[in-house]
Amino acid sequence: MHRTGAIFLQSALQTGILSGICLLMFFLHYIRIAVRNAKTEKNREKAMFRTGILLSVTGFLLMGLANDSNLAVSPLFWCILGMGIAMETETFYS
């Protein structure tokens, strides 16, 4: 079982409560930065791509709370999250 809610619990049980809290803060930080940058993006295509990534990540995290059969798309989630973080980092440092 690899639910999103279980990710936090599994992380907290295996590596400590601090690890689970850090994982939760990581997801919340990404969502906060992505929403802030999406509001200020001037390039329409890039804004749509960024919004799609944000909605995909948020949808996966919300789906994990209600459905525990998302193990098959978990690698795709981590790849999309990585692309989103790269885009937000590029915007932050430019």
**In this predicted structure, what is the pLDDT of residue 83?**
93
**In this predicted structure, what is the pLDDT of residue 69?**
58
Are the C-beta atoms of residues 19 and 10 closer than 8 Å to each other?
A: no
Residue 24 burial (C-beta neighbours within 10 Å; 0-12, 13-18, 19+): middle
Considering the entire predicted model, what is its pTM?
Answer: 0.76
Residue 82, φ and ψ in degrees, nearest 5: -65, -40
**In this predicted structure, what is the pLDDT of residue 89?**
84
- The parts of the chain modelled with pLDDT lower than 50 are 1-2
Separation CA 11–CA 5 (nearest Å): 10
Exposure string over 57-66, b if 16+ CB within 10 A, otherwise e: beebbebbee
